[in-house]
Structure 1
Amino acid sequence: MRAGGRAALILALALGGCRARTTDSTGTTADAGTAARPRPGDLPLPGCDVLMPADMRELTLPGFSIREERACPTCGPLCALRSETEKDVTVSVTWDCNSRYSRTDVRALLAPSLRAGGLEVPALGRAAVRRAPAQGMLQVMTWDDDTPCALIVTWLGGDPERALDVARSALSTTTPAALAMPPPPAEDAGLP
């Protein structure tokens, strides 16, 4: 697969992970970014340098450069990472912060990905699932414990299991302070 084709595939898969469907007061259903507007507090998110600081990137992805792209109107930035030494590897991380994630049951969050052939990942955030949508690709979607955010890590190329480490590191830097938002109440976060 050509490099341009890889980038397009990763972008399409990452955007597909954060598209939400909403219903307005007239009963019309729309994809996020068409007629729907984000609720206050769901945006804006800080950039990749805050969500994936340099020290964290050096530990999990040494030698990778980062480029920030806009993922979708209701998602956070799309952080695209490339390496000069691992030219066959492309990594992307995107955030989808939405207050409904804090109120939704874990099984309901996981169900669509599990039905599509994904596997649940234990002990990674509030809930996590992994799937391989294409050969040589691993996508990890996880919901954070202390913020109303879902993270989608897409790894294309050699050693795709490293996507789990990237997801774990990105979760550790996704904090209410980094997002400049108050933490969800204990009952919303699924805590006792």
Structure 2
Amino acid sequence: MALWVTLAMGLACRSRATEADADAGATGRVAPVNAMLPACEVLLPSDVRESMLPGFTMKEDRACPTCGPLCTFRSASEKDVTVSVTWDCKPHYSQADTQALLQPTLSLGGEEIPALGKAAARRAPAQGMLQVMAWDDDTPCALIVTWLGGSPEQALDVARLALGATRPDSFRVPVPPESELDSGTP
């Protein structure tokens, strides 16, 4: 099962990695901005996780060089159910046309999901798997939820709750006070 989740995340991030390469131009690769995204604990606080996936355990990994943390959830009662949530943040997502955001997923047989974030689409890359991609209204981030096993339609509910928990201040790195900067204190 972990293989399916890994493959699905690889597909989701690979298309955006090529966008990053194109954004960089001929001079080289874009620095992996998403490598600085906060941990799953910050992006999905415990109260959100418990209402989103009660009875699931969470593990954090890195999805790919250009994606945020991969929060993987496993059901204690349904051993064949695995859910992953990750973020992909790029400045151009804020200004991008919604149809341009949706087109890659729609061209792979996906369908648009109305009234979920700035834009959202779903697709079933394999039997028993549902992947939901939703672009946040408040941040330049796409949220990718992959549900494998059990009732994959629940991926829509997870995406809705995770988008609601995604706040602009979750992505800000705290800056030390000026007095600490001047004194040389780390």
TM over 0.5: yes
Pair 1:159 & 2:154 matched: no
Contact 1:43/1:97 (<8 A) preserved: no
Q: Structure 1 residues 83, 25: CA separation in 2 closer, same or farther (over 3 Å shift)?
A: closer
Summarize the alignment of residues 1-192 of structure 1 with structure 2, pairs less than 5 Å apart: 6-19=1-14, 20-21=17-18, 22-23=21-22, 24-26=24-26, 36-38=29-31, 42-180=34-172
Alignment length (residue pairs): 168
Structure 2-normalised TM-score?
A: 0.85
Deviation of 1:44 (Å)? 1.0
Separation in 1 of the partners of 2:99 and 2:134?
13
| Runs of at least 5 residues in structure 1 that lack an aligned partner in the other structure | 1-5, 28-34, 182-192
Deviation of 1:72 (Å)? 1.2
Structure 1-normalised TM-score?
A: 0.83
Question: Alignment identity in percent?
Answer: 59
Separation in 2 of the partners of 1:25 and 1:107?
24
Q: CA RMSD in A?
A: 1.6
Separation in 1 of the partners of 2:82 and 2:9?
12
- Identify, as 1 or 2, the structure richer in helix: 2
Contact 1:94/1:152 (<8 A) preserved: yes
Separation in 1 of the partners of 2:74 and 2:130?
16
Q: Structure 1 residues 39, 134: CA separation in 2 closer, same or farther (over 3 Å shift)?
A: closer
